Structure 1
Amino acid sequence: MSGNHTTSHEGENHGSYGSYIVGFILAVVLTVASFATVLSKAFSFWQTIAILGVLAAVQMVVHLIFFLHMGTKSLSQRQNLAAFIVTALMVLIVVAGYLFVLWDAQANMMAG
């Protein structure tokens, strides 16, 4: 057997301690903002749902960038990001389709 086994880390971008700290602080701030939004009862039900949705989306982006290191700096990162986006869109299509089918079935059953 040959001893020429090499491991390539091309395109990998491991974060520094500083970037992990920034990501952690942003995640904590977004989590506290979510709890504060719900506990303050300052918004209507649908406004609260919308705010929580936005905060969740922002927190997901923070996690993807600071902890999973998804970006566009290298070809490998772009491919990972593209695969993630395609997967997220497929899940969104499936969930939206499922909800539409349930809504349509319920509407047709109640029609009478």
Structure 2
Amino acid sequence: MTEVINDRAPGEMSTTPAEEGLMQSGAGIYTIGLALALLLTATSFWVANTSLLWAFGIPIGLVVLAIAQMGVHLVFFLHITTAPDNTNNVLALAFGIFIVILVIVGSLWIVTDLNENLMPSPGLMDLHMQH
């Protein structure tokens, strides 16, 4: 089995003096992350406002760009890696994503149910409009 030696996030501190020269400075990593985030944001605005793309492809493109944006933030700013010492960070991230999905799905379910149960019938709406 081979061991991966350089499995670190950008900006993660090196462990030996020999690795110090291989790592970029913290400010450099944040600058790269900022540049990528700005590029993805500008691309998202372009995708949303262009007529060059197929209309049904725009939402798909925006979702892909949003996922890429989240990846940039996780790696360059939050330093989430696959290193063994980052297990708690990954578990906390997974739990946070689960809670967000649970809140979104629950909210959509409640709103849909309320919309179906509280909307007046079309006959009642016509009766109200005649008076």
* Length-normalised TM-score, structure 1: 0.71
Q: CA deviation at 1:39?
A: 2.1
**Residues 10-89 of structure 1 aligned to structure 2 (within 5 Å):** 13-14=12-13, 16-17=24-25, 18-41=28-51, 42-44=53-55, 47-75=57-85, 77-89=86-98
> Cα offset for 1:26?
1.9
Deviation track 1:17-71 (CA, whole Å, cap 9, x = no partner) reads 3533432332122112101102213342x54333222211210111111111011
* One-letter identity of the residue aligned with 1:108: N
Aligned residues: 99
One-letter identity of the residue aligned with 2:64:
V
Greater than 4 Å deviation, 4+ residue runs = none
Work out whether 1:101 is the aligned partner of 2:116: no
| Identity %, equivalent residues | 32
> Whole-Å Cα distance in 1 between the matches of residues 68 and 83 of structure 2?
20
What's the CA shift for 1:111?
7.0
CA distance in 1, matches of 2:42, 2:94: 27
> Which residue is equivalent to 1:8?
none
Q: TM-score, normalised by structure 2?
A: 0.62
Cα deviation per residue 1:73-97 (whole Å; 9 max; x = unaligned)? 132x221121011111111111111
Show structure 2 runs of 5+ residues with no match.
Answer: 1-10, 14-22, 122-131
The 1:29/1:69 distance shift into structure 2, 3 A limit, reads same
Larger Rg: 2
